[in-house]
Amino acid sequence: MHYIASAWDEVSADTIANSFKHCGFKRSDASPASEAVMLEEAEAEFGNLQLPVTFADYVGADDDVAVCNAVSLEEVMDTMCPDDKISDEEEVDDDAEVCAPNPSYADVLQSVDNIRRFACARDDVGDLLSDVAALERKLMRRGWAK
């Protein structure tokens, strides 16, 4: 599923527009004035339904509904790595610290997969999945062989 989403992200707006043109769909030549007339006709037809709401209320019922929650990279990092404060007694000398070895290409791809699974398990990650797909595409294009 993620590969399909990743492929879809690669499709440009021009490609979609050309596909619709090829299928016979044409741009509407309706002017804003004719759209206003169409709106008035729709409102009149809606009025004939005798419902307890106005057309504007019906159309705008979900205008204020939040459809997604934007999550910053910092918020994701805070969720994944809680900030553990080190006391002065526990503070380690920089010279004594051992550097972690550089991860392999396979390790990096596994980490990307872990982030993807994290994002799939939550509802409030915003566009993290598309960011993960973009990162994975960049890694796959580069294809380090170490």
Encode pLDDT of 3-27 as tens digits: 787 788 888 888 888 888 888 877 6
What does the alpha-carbon distance between residue 67 and residue 115 come to, in Å, rounded to a whole number? Answer: 22
Q: Is the dihedral of CA 96, 100, 101, 102 positive or negative?
A: negative
Q: What is the pLDDT of the chain when averaged over all its residues?
A: 77
Tokens of 79: 């969720």
pLDDT band at 97 (very low <50, low <70, confident <90, very high): low
Using DSSP's 3-state secondary structure scheme, residue 119 falls into helix
- The C-alpha angle 108, 111, 114, rounded to 5 degrees, equals 160
